[in-house]
Chain A
Amino acid sequence: MLLKYKSFIIMLGIMFLILPLVIIAQASNTVSTISFSEIKDRTPVDVKVSLINSSSISRIQIVYKSFQETEFRVREMELLGDIATYQIAAEDVSAPMLTYYLIIEMQAGTQETYPLGVPDAARPIDLTVSTVSEKDKEILILSPGANETVSLNDLFISISLVNAPDDVDISKTKIILNGEDISKNVMFAGDLLLYYPQNFEGSVEGGEQNLEIEVYNNDGELYHSIKRKFTAVDAITASNIGSGFRFYGNVAGEVRNEAFNGAFTLYNNIALSLNGAVNDWKFKGYGYLTSEENTSVQAQNRYSVSVESSWMKLRGGDSYPRYNNLLLNGKRIRGVNGIIDYGIFHMQGSYGEVRREIEGKLNNTFSKDNTPLQSNVIRIDSVKYGNPFGLVNFGVHSRKLLAGRIGLGGRETFEMGVSFLHAKDDANSIEFGAKPEENLVASTDIRLALDNQRIIFKTVGSMSVINSDITSGTYSDEQIDSIFASGSELGGDIESFKNIKNIISPFMTVNQFVEPLNVGGASSLATETSLELNYFNNNLKGSYIYRGNQFKSFGQEYTRTDVAGLNISDRFRTFENQLFFTLGYENLNDNLQGTKIATTTFQTLRASVSLFMRRDMPNITFSYTNNKNENGIEPTDSLNKFLSIDDITNRFSLNLGYDFNLKVKHNTSLGFMISNRDDNSFFNNDANYFSTSFTLNSYWTRAFVSNFSAIYYNSKISIVKYKYVTLSLGGRYLLLNDNIELSLNYSPSFGDFNRHAIDFTAAYQMVKNLWIRGQMRYYAMANASANIISGITVSYNF
């Protein structure tokens, strides 16, 4: 049976290789590579994006969602030089799939996505989310603990296989420490394996240690392997841990030259991080200075200092405070962010600048008589510039944000909190800018957990007020009378407007640009309520959302508004957590305030089956999604046909992952995705996508690892066809006792996306902890000049 299966896998591989058009990496003008840490259910995922021509990029956002959800979360990534990073929170990572794409905003004001064309001309990328492997629970490294720092005198390695199945041959277990097989020195005590390095002098030296355990079945085939890192230190260093002041850090400097479309740009940057601790108090400092910093773009330098203990955290400088998803979550603030968690009492406060001022540019001036009617022609100081109107490129006002939350209770049982956000542009910060705005949001949140977290009820409600032009300040009652009385369409709301003004004017500017005018209409209300039940191997979750069309929080600028509806999903696991079924349905609609000519319903049905076998078989995930959007307007409607929405999208995907031993260890993945959109609206914008990808990583020796990948992409949107194949071949090689690391990757793309890319990196450890690293990236696009990024980085850990 096993042999049959292997043959099938090999056949699949061969079939794949002989496909006439094979593919690879995603097309992009700005993204070189994107990497993820291990993607496991309910585990944080670190995302790292390497960029091409990073100086042209002003901001990067990652947009992601789990399979059970239909709404994407938009989060700003930390952009430092040519690297952007973000950590996706554990609660947002859910098996079987994580879907993502990137939004890249350019300094020139344009924007693109990765992959190019999302959502209209390309699909976001699916990543398989594995569940915590049952095999991981079967192989227990009792000692050392993960990332533990342990004295060499006290060091011992202990592996427990008491939970391993009967077909595991414990005597064949290999224990590899820092690349060296030490199995012959291991003592077996039943299902417990013990290794005492003190019995083998010189077998372990101080420093970071890499431990790998390989467990084999009775047939001698690799059953599972796990890794762990820990640090061994001498007795004196170990005794200092936990007492007195201790610190460590890193300093790195980079010189980088980017030759892009014939233009050369030189960048210099330096980064310093310091970590210190005394008793239970931890201190961190971080600074990043770059030659890219200039006043015509948002801040490129980064700095922060923080102190934290078991009950408080305080961070100054750049921070990314997290409140609820409707208020503020992950936006960069330059100021201060503090959190206190003392028993059942919780408090958080954040204040700082979310964007700095960038002055606009006056291009031309006009007299009153010849002023053109354009949105970027504004009134200017006629005494200063000779004319009363000017054609400008708009700048950006500086914006400060204040947020806070007070909460009572604990996550184990019941917690509730109230929070607020106030953000305001500084109208005087620049001379030529668009209208300065102000935003006030109030929010409450409740979390109730019962029966040992098997029942979780959560609700968040927020109400916002926004002023889209605060230039004139708060109006008096007399001004309101005169302005509103003269406008017949607003005249009837004078008293309610005055009432609103009296209530909120102590907190924000109130004039005729305040929205909503009618609070009772719930147009600025946003709520999310969910109930989660975890019983009988089911994770059943039902939720309801409501977002009025005027809800706006400057802390979460990409929240989808004018939508309401229900979402229900269930994930069922069986066969000892080896088989997972997911089923979900969502029904949303817009036009909550009746501001549109028709109401659109958005229905989504999702189903998936995942197989995570403990045996020597691939992990398989098959998923199906059906989206149906419809607003009832006929495409033949002569008046409203351009507003008609009527489309159905069917999407299937199959992902396989397989680790196997063929002479050496390999891991592979193979994915297929097919999507078909049938658009019956006036536009008839049918779309078909097909993509497949294959990756193979081979661990030839501890020092040599190779990788191969191929992607094929084929789409047809309306009448536009787009097709390409990308291959990638590379490897990493360590030599001279790991003091030199070489890596090379060549990635050609053919078809409508035609590019050849070479990445080469050489790193050398000159003395302990002092590394010099050279990097060269070469990109040649069809009908464009070759682009080369070359740089040298020196870093030192202390």
Chain B
Amino acid sequence: MSGQRPAVRLIGRLRRWYRRAGDLGAAYYSAPYRAAIARARRDEEDLFMLMVFSETLGIPNPATWYTLELQPLLLDRFHDWHKRMGMPHSPLDHFRCC
């Protein structure tokens, strides 16, 4: 039992080192491009938002029946979106988030 302890401790330490190295590596991989990727992801989300709210904006969308139930889930993001688009308040009369 006592003979195992240093080995167990060593493995534990190695595992911690490996995890730390992995974290540093991940930071090295993502740091330079964090902003560009966040922007790209946001653009994708904006497109998705447009799909979900297209009918309310007057664009016919055959999938409205299905996207309707997503609207409450997107409430927070919708708020962020219209603020990002330069509109201080919700542009949709019947979808007031603020």
Q: Do A and B form a real pair?
A: no
By a beta-carbon cutoff of 8 Å, the part of chain B in contact with chain A is none
By a beta-carbon cutoff of 8 Å, the part of chain A in contact with chain B is none
